[in-house]
Homo-oligomer: A and B are copies of this chain.
Amino acid sequence: MDVDTRLLRSFRAVAEEGSLTRAAQRLYLSQPALTKQIRQLEERLGARLFQRSKHGMAPTAAGEALAAALPSVLDAWDAARRAVRGAEAEASRVLRVGFLASAANEKTQPIIARFRECRPDWRIELRQASWGDPAAGLVSGEVDAAFMRLPFPRQDEFASLALLTEPRCVAMAAGHPLARRESLRFEELLDEPFIAAPGAAGAFRDHWVAADARGGRPVKVGAVAEHPDDWLTAIANGDGIALAPASAARYYARPDIAYREVEGVAPSTVALVWPKAVPPSGPLSDLIAAAAALAD
C-alpha cells in the first residue's frame, strides 16, 4: 500500500492536536478535507487509527503504533531528499539560496562576492520565494540555505546566523492622513486595515501585523499580498497599511507610498538560515563563514 508523506503529516498533526478541527487549522485545510484524508489512511491501512468522540480524536493502539513509526519514515525521506539535493549541488556546483523581498539588504552582494572568492568554480543561485512560503524554500528542501526574516514557520528545525537587525516602520499611501506625521505609535494603527501575508505564512504573517502588540484584538485585513509587487500596489491603492523593515524605504521607494517611523513594535532581524539536520560542510560552510564575516 502506497502512501503520500502529506497524509502521514496530516495524521501526525491530528495525533498531536487530538482534534481534527485544530489540526485542520494548523495544516491550513478545511476540516472535511482532513476528515477524508484520515478516513482514507484508515481504509488503506485497514485499521482504525483514532477513537472519535466529542472531545476529539484519541489514537487507538494502531494509531499509536503508526505515530511511533512515523519519525523513521519522514526522517528517511528527508535524508533522501537532502542526499539528492547534495548530489545535485555537487554535480552542478551551484548552491541554492532562498530569499524574500530584499534578502540581506546591502549585505547580500558582499556575502556572495566573498563566497565566490572562496569558491571560484561555484556559484550561488538566488531564489525568491513568495510570502506564502516565508521559509523561502527551506522547509520544502528546494534550497540549501536562505536569507530570512525571523520568525518563520518551523524555525526550531533550522540553525541561523543573525546578519542585521533593523527597526520596523509603517508603510501607507502617500495621501493617508497619518502620513503627515514623522513618527507614530503602534496603538494609533490598531483600527487601520492591514495588508497581510497569506494564511499559510502563520507566525510570519502574525509578526508583520504585529499580532503580539494588539492585546488580542483581531487584525482587520484589507488585502492579502504574496509578493512585494502586489503588496506595494495594495498599499498605494489605499487597501491598507503595513509594517515593513526600515530598509523598505530604500528598496521599495515610490512617490505614492510614505514610510513612517513607528514605536511599540519589535525590530526585524535578517538571518542566514540552514537546516539543523545538515551539519555545514564544504560550500555551505564557506557561505556561512562569508556571512559571519559581514554580520553585525
Inter-chain contact B5/A141, CB cutoff 8 Å: no
Number of copies: 2
Q: Which residues of B contact A2 (CB under 8 A)?
A: 4-6, 9
Complex Cα distance, B83 from A86, in Å, reads 32
Interchain residue pairs with CB less than 8 A apart (10): A2-B5, A4-B5, A45-B141, A47-B85, A47-B87, A47-B88, A60-B88, A61-B87, A61-B88, A64-B87
Kindly name the residue among A45, A80, A83, A96 whose own CB sees the greatest number of chain B CB atoms within 10 A: A80
In contact, A61 and B91 (Cβ under 8 angstroms): yes
Does A185 sit within 8 A of B, measured CB to CB?
no
| A residues at B contact (CB < 8 Å) | 1-6, 9, 45-49, 60-62, 64-66, 68-70, 72-73, 75-77, 79-81, 83-88, 90-91, 96, 140-142
Which of A66, A76, A96 counts the most chain B CB atoms within 10 A?
A76
A66 partner residues in chain B, CB cutoff 8 A: 80, 83-84
A80 touches B73 (CB 8 A): yes
Which residues of B are found within 8 Å of A49, using beta-carbon distances?
84
B65 touches A87 (CB 8 A): yes
Instruction: Kindly list chain B residues whose C-beta atoms are within 8 Å of the C-beta of A80.
Output: 65-66, 69-70, 72-73
Chain B residues within 8 Å of A61, by CB: 87-88, 90-91
* Neighbour of A141 across the interface among B1, B69, B90, B96, CB < 8 A: B1
Give Cα distance in the complex from A69 to B142, angstroms. 18
Q: Is the CB of A84 within 8 A of B72?
A: no
